[in-house]
Homo-oligomer: A and B are copies of this chain.
């Protein structure tokens, strides 16, 4: 069985989601399987009516413009475009935490890229079996 990287994506900031996609690209290049669990703000960022509009949520709002320009110059794609490609290239499953989905009134119909909705026990169980487990 392939090694697995599990990312708990709690954050919904544009910058951290770029970080997420960089890590996923590395894992896919190494033929690892990836499971992403969307917690609170992560689930918010993946809502169909939010995705792609979240530049407003940056880790450092005062430096957001500077960051945006730097990323463009560096040729970094929007994280959701990278993720779409990575899902085609490798095994990348995306799950939403049930409590987060409920908080935002979200389900599979209005969440982008999400494969299923899971509970805390399944999330922790996946962490304990992962080769790499990170909270973002």
Contact = CB atoms under 8 A, between A and B. Distances in A.
A30 B124 contact: yes
Interface string A1-42: 001010010111101101100110111011010000001110
Contacts of A103: 67, 70-71, 73-74, 76
Contact of A132 (B22, B121, B124): B124
Nearest to A124: B26
Given A74-B103, A99-B76, A104-B70, A22 B120 contact: yes
A136 interface: yes
Q: How many copies does the complex hold?
A: 3
A29 B120 contact: yes
A127 interface: yes
B8 A134 contact: yes
Nearest to A103: B70
A119 B16 CA distance: 17
Given A26-B122, A76-B99, A134-B135, 9 more contacts: A8-B134, A10-B15, A10-B19, A26-B119, A26-B123, A30-B128, A41-B59, A70-B102, A76-B103
